[in-house]
Amino acid sequence: MAGLVLAIDQGTTSSRAIVFAEDFTSVSSGQQEFKQYFPKSGWVEHSPSDIWDSTLEVCREALEKAPQGGADVAAIGITNQRETTLIWDRSTGEPVYNAIVWQDRRTSDTCARLRSEGLEETFSAKTGLLLDPYFSGTKIAWILDNVAGVRERAERGELAFGTVDTWLIWHLTGGKVHATDATNASRTLIYNIHENAWDEDLCRLLGIPMSLLPQVRDSADDFGFSAPDLFGRPLPILGVAGDQQAATLGQACFNPGMVKSTYGTGCFALMNTGETPVRSKNRMLTTIAYRLDGKTTYALEGSIFVAGAAVQWLRDGLGLIDSAGETQGLAEQADSTQDVYLVPAFVGLGAPYWDADARGAMFGLTRNTGPKEIARAVLQSVGFQTGDLLDAMRADWPDAKPPVLRVDGGMSASDWTMQFLADILGAPVDRPTVAETTALGAAWLAGSKAGVWPGADAFSAQWKLDRRFEPRLQESERLRLLSGWKDAVNRTKSTSD
């Protein structure tokens, strides 16, 4: 069992830890949900201590359940919710404010002001990103400008910024390592993805002192050792990647043109574009897929803010279901003569619209519309939004072959949803046997760096298909449904085209 790897998967609503064996199967795990804070409309926060404490507990749980108490674990890999922003005291580790979550929209006005000053092209050309509250840069600026005394402390070099991976590395190493990897850095709005360096000009525009920033390392690299008292012995941290990039690796999308889509709280599709960053003309993001041995591989990414969160809304907001698994049964029984569309813009619209002020809406309601039709509309919204992303990707990179989409995440377990996805895309959808692809990607980074797991080619060869969903819908019906969706989105936007 010398090939055991501990993968930390710190997500938006829960922290998980999984111990993987060298055949890529899970041998033990732990998971713990934590509280979400919504101080104002559009604001989303986490307690930094909740993030760390829950991560530590699930790691200990997974190790305890592993063979021989995890004695043969060779390395730790970390994957994390991206863009979520923390600032803390370098000497005490105490945060100066709650973690501002990637979903948070409080900096919409800041982004609008920067756009009005004609600065979006400046940011986009260097970072591959758009001016949106989603990214870390304006969140950092908000904390500096709105929490008493923080800017002065930052300018004195007393504080540290990090995304969640950096926060975890800091605590795992007992404050010895302040570092991130290139994938997480590429989501901050202040990292030049072409030069692979923090950008002084962008930091100046946002008023961010460079002394706040962590060192940027490869995705498979030396991030230090865990403190001996945490797990009984020091463990090397050898792999780090943001959750969507980690899922891309876990899906073995190493070749240009390969596409994966992850369905969790949101939905995130990434297309590997190889060594060349493809500049989007359709408001997609250009980002770093991974950096290995100093070599950067790029991707086009489309981000949808609400996917699985819409199912949670059915359960917690409307009380129409008791568990997520009920949605498929309801959708199967829905009245096929009703065209009900949900545009789940609960926190704005993501790619390719990027409308922070849009809010969710439902169209096509009749007196006969009930829970079944609403549940179907929720599941269908995932397929429609994915279609928007892939259409934009293909327009940006015409040389890309029509993709087979590799899927993962909680919603990919729904056969009904995946079949609708294949139908509305008009393309095959492949679901792998290993569902935990995000954690697996982090484990592969650490395991391969430790020398106990194979390299990319051998890892790719062992990717296994659970089921392929082939499109079955008539083209005329597919186009009719898409037309209705486009109309619904246009009605939902905060401004007309």
pLDDT at 363 over 80: yes
* Res 403: pLDDT: 72
- Rounded Cα distance between 321 and 314, Å, is 6
Q: What is the mean pLDDT of residues 329-342?
A: 88
* Res 42: pLDDT: 83
* Res 400: pLDDT: 66
CB atoms near residue 229 (< 10 Å): 9
Higher pLDDT, 348 or 451: 451
* Tens-digit pLDDT profile for residues 394-428: 888 876 666 789 998 888 888 999 999 999 999 99
φ/ψ of 13, rounded to 5, equals -115, -10
* Res 1: pLDDT: 47
- Percent of the chain exceeding pLDDT 70 equals 98
C-alpha dihedral, 118 to 124 to 127 to 133, nearest 10°? 70
The answer to whether 50 and 63 have CB atoms below 8 angstroms apart is no
* Res 288: pLDDT: 96
Torsion sign over Cα 410, 411, 416, 421: negative
Secondary structure of residue 345 in the 3-state scheme: coil
**Structure tokens, 467:** 């089921």
- Rounded Cα distance between 440 and 339, Å, is 38
φ/ψ of 242, rounded to 5, equals -60, 155
The answer to whether 262 and 282 have CB atoms below 8 angstroms apart is no
pLDDT at 497 over 60: no
Higher pLDDT, 53 or 463: 53
C-alpha dihedral, 218 to 220 to 226 to 230, nearest 10°? 130
Angle ∠(170,175,178) on CA atoms, nearest 5? 55
The answer to whether 298 and 330 have CB atoms below 8 angstroms apart is no
Torsion sign over Cα 389, 42, 202, 196: negative
Q: Can you state the percent helix, strand and coil of the chain, rounding each to 5?
A: 40, 25, 40
pTM: 0.88
- Rounded Cα distance between 486 and 491, Å, is 9
C-alpha dihedral, 158 to 162 to 164 to 167, nearest 10°? -30
Contacts of 307 (CB under 8 A, 6+ apart): 263, 264, 265, 266, 267, 344, 382, 385, 409, 411
φ/ψ of 5, rounded to 5, equals -135, 135
* Tens-digit pLDDT profile for residues 465-475: 899 999 999 99
* Tens-digit pLDDT profile for residues 82-127: 999 999 999 999 999 999 999 898 999 999 999 999 999 999 999 9
The answer to whether 4 and 20 have CB atoms below 8 angstroms apart is yes
- Percent of the chain exceeding pLDDT 90 equals 67
For the chain, how far is it from start to end, CA to CA, in angstroms? 58
φ/ψ of 238, rounded to 5, equals -120, 0
pLDDT at 209 over 70: yes
Would you mind telling me the total number of residues written for the chain in this entry? 497
Secondary structure of residue 149 in the 3-state scheme: coil
